[in-house]
Every structure is written in structure tokens, then in C-alpha cells.
Structure 1
Amino acid sequence: MKVDHFAFFVSDMDKAIEFYCKVLGMKLLSRDVDEAHNEEFSFLELEGGNLELLSTLKKEKAIENKLRSENILKKQLNCPHLAIRAHNLEDIVKKCEENNITIIGGPFIIKRKVKWMYISDIDGNILEFVKWL
């Protein structure tokens, strides 16, 4: 088996695409609307499996999804999350600083093993960046 994609709910597709593409450097593969299921979805290229961003066409539901993500963020820092292998964690820290993105955990290190850090996107979805040493 192989991972096909991961999915996150987002409240504003335009802002989410800007965050993932302009700030994190991912590539937008597609963006579509599925009116039969009241959702908009986009796929972003991510090595090892793509990232799908989902947004409801019903704005009340978008607010509910955002609140749910924020509650998860308050409960536990590391779950659920999407972990992305980083070649250079310092570059990620710099991008975060340049774009006013709060690092919500780390960078942490286990000597001679791993360095990692957590950020959240604009909807509270948690991203972990990992650098294996």
C-alpha cells in the first residue's frame, strides 16, 4: 500500500492555498467544486502523498470546522497532525518568522536522532516539520 493523500478542513480556500503554496512552497495541482456534496476541494503536491484541502460551501459549517480544529489544538499539541520531512529546519523557522507564523512547539531535538517543530495553519490544522539527523 502507498499513501495517496491527507486531508484538512479549511474555512477559507483562498487563504489556505496562499498559506500552503506561497508560505510553505507547495504546488497547487487542482481546485474544484462539488456542489452535490456542498464542498470545495484542492489538491496540493506533497512528496509521499498529496494534501487535500476541503471546505464546505455552507459558511456555517466552515465556522464549525474551524472551531473544532481550534479545540483540537488546545487539547494536545501533537495529535492529529501531518508530519512533513524537512531538509533544513532552520529554513522553516525563517519562513515562519518572515510570514508571522507562530511556532507552537519546538524546535525540539533528540541528540543525533531527530529535530522537529510544530506550527498550525490558519484553521488550526497542525503541521510537524521533521529533520532526521
Structure 2
Amino acid sequence: MKINKFFHVAVEVPDLDKALEFYIGLLGLKLVNREKLPEKKLEVAFVAGEGCEIELMCYEDSKERKFAPESQSHFQHLSFVVDDIEKAMDYLKSNGIELESPDPIPVFDGKVFYNTFKGPGGELLEIAEEKRPRLNH
């Protein structure tokens, strides 16, 4: 078996309309498809940006579900690359988004700067600016 590329990641959200407003309206992703799957009591929407696609899943009982805390979840966060982390942070703050840190957080000896924030369903999201060339594998 040969894997050609990463297809998408699926995230369950408690309110699909609110999630779409956030991911499309605030983060600037594009709606690819939205579909109801009544046999699964599920509605899904795919949103995409350059090089990424996210499936937002909302079951009929998603609003009532308790989601696992980060310490007990296999899913930790979604990370998005931005051109200028400080401008991206200013944009998020101006739209009422609370960031983990007031300043970009450096990692890998200052080759990457990031910051995290919560999505509308409480999912952990990250923006990152790379200051280093990507390694090709």
C-alpha cells in the first residue's frame, strides 16, 4: 500500500452552523460540501484551505455530548501555518478570540513561533509561523 497524501481530519463539533461561521467567516476556509446523513443521525461539512481539508461532524446528540479533555484525547489540536504570526494574532484578538499567550511562543530554537486558541466547540487550534525551510522526506 502506498499513501499518496493526507486527505482530511475530522472534528466533531456541537453546533455545525456555529462551527462553519467560525471556520469560514473568521478563519477564511472555503465550504467544499455540506451533507446530511440521516441514517447516521449526522450532518457533515467539509471546509478547505490551501493544503488542508477539515470535516466538521455534528451528530444529532453532539450538543449534549461531553468531549474528552485534552489530557485524555488522542486528538490534541489542529495547526495552521500563517505568513505572519503577529498579524494573525492581532486579527484573532480583534475578533474576540482569546490566545494562550500575549506573545508568539518560540520552539525549535526560534525556528517556529506558535500560539493556540479555542474553536467554537472548545477544540484546540494553533497558528504557526515557520522561520525555517521544510525538510523533504
Determine if the TM-score, normalized by the shorter chain, exceeds 0.5.
yes
Give the TM-score taking structure 2 as reference length: 0.81
Q: Which of 1 and 2 has higher RCO (CA within 8 Å, sep 6+)?
A: 1
2:87 to 88, 91, 107: 91
TM-score (norm 1): 0.83
**C-alpha distance 112-104 of structure 1, shift in aligned 2 (>3 A):** closer
Which residue number in structure 1 is paired with residue 49 of structure 2?
Answer: 46
Q: Partners in 1 of 2:11 and 2:100 — Cα distance?
A: 18
More helix by share: 1
Pick the aligned partner of 2:78 from 79, 82, 86: 82
Structure 1: where are the runs of 5+ without partners?
none
Deviation track 1:17-43 (CA, whole Å, cap 9, x = no partner) reads 000111111111111100011100000
Q: Which residue in the other structure is 1:132 paired with? A: 130
Which structure would you say has the larger Rg? 2
Bigger proportion of residues as strand:
1
Question: How many angstroms apart in 1 are the aligned matches of 2:100 and 2:14?
Answer: 20
Distance 2:59 2:122 in 1: 16
User: SS state of the match for residue 104, structure 2?
Assistant: strand
Aligned length: 124
Offset, 1:124? 1.2
The residue number in structure 2 matching 1:114 is 112
Q: What is the SS of the residue equivalent to 2:97? A: coil
Aligned-residue offset at 1:104: 2.4
Distance 2:36 2:56 in 1: 12
Give the Å deviation of 1:87.
Answer: 1.0
In the alignment, the residues of structure 1 paired with residue 39 and residue 28 of structure 2 have an alpha-carbon distance, to the nearest angstrom, of 31
Contact 1:23 1:95 in 2 (8 A): no
CA contact (8 A) 1:115 1:131 kept: yes
Counterpart code for 1:80: Q
Q: Which residue does the alignment assign to 1:68?
A: 67
Aligned partners of 2:32 and 2:46 also within 8 Å? yes
